[in-house]
Amino acid sequence: MDSKVVYIFFLILFVCCITINYINFNYSTIYCDAINSIDKYFVDNPNKPRENISGDSLNKYCPGNNCSNDEEKIISGFIMLLNKIDEEGLKSDKNFEYASLWLSYKLNQKTQNGITKLYDFYTNRIGTNDFYKGKISNNINMDVIEEKIRSMNMDIKDISNFYDAFKSLCNMYSERDAVGQCKTCLENAGEFFEKCEIVKNVFDITKESSYLQLWLSLSKDYKEFESNYNTNWCSNIPSVVACPRNSIIKNTLITIAIICGAIAFFLGISYKVNNKEFKYYFDYICKH
């Protein structure tokens, strides 16, 4: 094969890969923006009042155009998120998975309904309710939604732990567009790994585990973010380190304690040394 043809082939392949990667990255940003905009309607912090839910916002997805309780607001927010996925052309199994993750998280915040399984709630409150089904875009494949929720055969309290990691990932996408926010972006990356470590240590992430797909989706999205982050933004600082900050701090403190303890043990500092200047120097080392 002619060398020019080979060169052109690989050049086209490279450009296509870059383009696809950028599109995936941009889609993730748009999806996170959609999540953040909907979350404004559910702020419970008195110092950050929630958005007005009158008119064309959440209320239009509730019976009588009025969300009368938390459950109706959550269902309305879920439908709004699904329709946003359709409007932005973000229809994918992963994004439907994240929408279900959002639903579970919000339900876990409002425990009065007594629902413990996400699939039970979806079946009893949404899947069999003609009013709510009629509010969901016809372009949304409800069979896919139902299958995703069925696959999350977990307690809503467990699923909501994955949402914490997802929100940290979304914060990373938000901060990367802000000028001079590289440090903040890295801090969010640290939070992401801390929360992922919690999930990994608490739950059984194995081949047959219901948690595995959520874990894989989060991991893949982070890898895509890291690749674009180090290529297109903040290239003057180190790559995002895949290590929880609390582990780094803990290991550092343990190491210092071992070193100081070993020195004290072998030299008998605590009772053999009377030289005040040396004692002061040793104390300074261990404290700093």
The confidence band for 212, taking pLDDT boundaries of 50, 70 and 90, is: confident
DSSP letter for 41, please.
G
Is residue 126 over pLDDT 90?
yes
Is residue 182 over pLDDT 80?
no
CA-to-CA distance for 61 and 71, rounded, in angstroms? Answer: 12
Report pLDDT for 122.
Answer: 92
Dump pLDDT digits (tens) for 132-158: 999 998 988 888 888 888 887 778 887
Is residue 28 over pLDDT 50?
yes
Q: Who has greater pLDDT, 190 or 60? A: 60
Token pair for 241:
């380190």
Q: Who has greater pLDDT, 23 or 90? A: 90
Is residue 248 over pLDDT 70?
no
Which of 78-87, 193-202, 235-244 has maximum average pLDDT? 78-87
CA-to-CA distance for 142 and 137, rounded, in angstroms? Answer: 10
Report pLDDT for 74.
Answer: 92
Which amino acid, 255?
Answer: T
* Cβ-contact 39, 81 below 8 angstroms: no
Average pLDDT over residues 182-208: 69
Helices 276-287 and 245-267 cross at an angle (nearest 10°) of 160
Average pLDDT over residues 109-130: 82
The confidence band for 166, taking pLDDT boundaries of 50, 70 and 90, is: confident
Report pLDDT for 259.
Answer: 41
DSSP conformation letters of the chain: --HHHHHHHHHHHHHHHHHHHHHHHHHHHHHHHHHHHHHGGG---TTSPPPP--TTSGGGGSGGG---SHHHHHHHHHHHHHHHHHHTT---HHHHHHHHHHHHHHHHH-GGG---BHHHHIIIIIIT-HHHHHHS-TTS-HHHHHHHHHH--SBHHHHHHHHHHHHHHHHHHHHTTSTT-HHHHHHHHHHHHHHHHHHHHHS--STT-TTHHHHHHHHHHHHHHHHHHHHHS-TTSPPPPSS-HHHHHHHHHHHHHHHHHHHHHHHTHHHH---HHHHHHHHHHHH-
The confidence band for 204, taking pLDDT boundaries of 50, 70 and 90, is: low
Report pLDDT for 95.
Answer: 81
Phi/psi for 155 (5° steps) reads -70, 145
Which amino acid, 121?
Answer: F
Is residue 94 over pLDDT 70?
yes
Is residue 117 over pLDDT 60?
yes
Which of 66-80, 160-174, 189-203 has maximum average pLDDT? 66-80
Token pair for 209:
């585990």
Average pLDDT over residues 98-125: 83
